[in-house]
Amino acid sequence: MINRTKQYLGKFDSEESAARSYDTAFRKSLPSRALLLRMLNFPSSGDYFTEEIWEVEPIPEGRSSRFMGVSVFRGKYAVKIGSISVGSFVFEVDAARMFDQASMALGRRTNFHPAKHWREISSGTGRTADSMSSLMAQVCSSSVALTSASWIAARGEKLAQTADEVASAALAKLQPAIGKVCNAEFSRQKKLWNEYLEADKRRLTVASDWRFEAADPIQLRPWQHHKDTCEDLETISASDLPSQFLQKSPSNCQSCYKQESPSRLISQLNAVFNAFQGTPNPEKSWLFGRFSGSEAQSRMLINVLLLDFCRQHELSLSPEEPLPPTAPVPGVADYVLQRGNEVVAVVEAKCCLPEGPSGGREAWTSVLAGAAAQTLALIAGIASPKSEYGTPWGVVTDSRRWLLIGLPADGHPVIQRWSTGSVLLELSGPEQLNLLLECLGQLLTKGAHTGESHQAVKQKPVLMTRAGSLAS
């Protein structure tokens, strides 16, 4: 596959000959230099960046740096090796050199020719053995800049401690060989780093892997309680969260959502339901009550709800939003809701499982509990400390059931009760749909922070702002 096009290059007597033929064809396709270095089987000296002309290399479309492992974040050039943040720099070339040093320690590709770095080490102009040791300790440790949120920080410290134990053992073996240019020593380092990476796979490395531990404390906040205040809140353990989900909302809940009747929205949702079934069902005006389906089906319904909500409240909606390089753990948010550049909510979507046996622990409660922990990691990664809205809200949903979760700057994770008093809001009828829209409007719109009535917000069409992003 060259430039996303299949090309037949012929038959070859050996695997190496085939690989070199691919390399020749790939060079002729004139890719960016960073992509070239990633994809070649046998890079030659002419394939690498050089100190003399690296600045004339164009920056590929959709990227913020011409170098591997480097990207712009908050005005600086950030360096990442896989899921590990190494540092940030004012100058792009300094970031590229740092990436190369760390990548060499792992036996991986570099932007500049590896021989250049080895010459600097040998001549004393590059990193010394001590600084290389410090660098490898930094790369080995996953203790990147954590947010001040206590739960994420505590969990991150625990993971970092595990990583440090592995790093210490690896560094003890690597120390005698650090700074030596001998091929045998380099191969030995590469082997040790491969052993470390295998151990690293057993740790939690991305937001989707995060889970609560049974004893993790979670606070339940009443409706209208100030978001950043943690006093006088009911505290439960994470193991009790699924049982909280099973406590249903009162059936007589009322809504005063006045923007417009949801009949149009209900018609759009029912059209999606009918498409799932293949045949229209005119007898039922509300089909959410018995819906269950895959995550893809849930997202189709969530799309309808979120697009309508964002249109009403002048919010932009970005699906599949990657976390920035400085996030405590890497990950992708299913949806991000923004007002301008300020993130107000992160939405985690899940499949909608059917109800289980009466009185038993339902499978869907475990799915939503796991998603709540994932959402906290996403919030910590995407939050901006300078945001006028504070820490974004987390919304966990399988389209039929909705959960609100928050991550205060200090204290434990918080589950926000709905105005009915329940932890979970299930869309069992149009009244609950009204309630969902009203509560989200109060929590996420500008009026909730400035005092402006959300009923007065002008309606504007949702427009495409970039690939995969929607805005008012």
Each residue of 274-297: pLDDT tens digit? 888 776 666 556 778 778 899 999
Q: Token pair for residue 112?
A: 């500049």
Helix, strand and coil percent figures for the chain, each rounded to 5 = 40, 15, 40
Q: How far is CA 428 from CA 301, 311, 365, 436, in A?
A: 15, 24, 17, 11
> What does the pLDDT read at residue 196?
62
How many Cβ atoms from other residues are within 10 Å of residue 91's Cβ? 10
Whether the CB-CB separation of 266 and 274 falls below 8 Å is answered with no
Tally of CA atoms within 13 A in the half-sphere of 125 that contains its CB: 6
Q: Token pair for residue 9?
A: 């290059």
Distance CA 402, CA 398 (A): 7
Task: Please state the domain extents for the chain.
Answer: 31-205, 217-471
> What does the pLDDT read at residue 132?
53
> What does the pLDDT read at residue 169?
73
* 197: nearest Cα among 97, 81, 117: 81
Q: Mind listing the pLDDT tens digit for each residue in 113-145?
A: 887 766 565 555 555 445 555 555 555 443 333
Whether the CB-CB separation of 393 and 404 falls below 8 Å is answered with yes
* CA of residue 57 relative to chain centroid, distance: 30
Kindly report the length of the chain.
472
* Backbone φ, ψ for residue 412 (5° rounding): -90, 165
Give the type of residue at 251.
S
Q: Token pair for residue 231?
A: 């006093």
Point out the residues of the chain with pLDDT beneath 50. 128-129, 140-149, 226-230, 251-259, 358-360, 386, 446-472
HEC states along 52-115? CCHHHCCCCCCCCCCCCCEEEECCEEEEEECCEEEEEECCHHHHHHHHHHHHHHCCCCCCECHH
> What does the pLDDT read at residue 428?
86
Alpha helices by DSSP H, 125-182: 129-140, 150-174
> What does the pLDDT read at residue 28?
85
* Backbone φ, ψ for residue 332 (5° rounding): -130, 125
Contacts of range 183-189, beta carbons closer than 8 Å, 24 or more positions apart: 186/107, 189/105, 189/107
> What does the pLDDT read at residue 336?
94
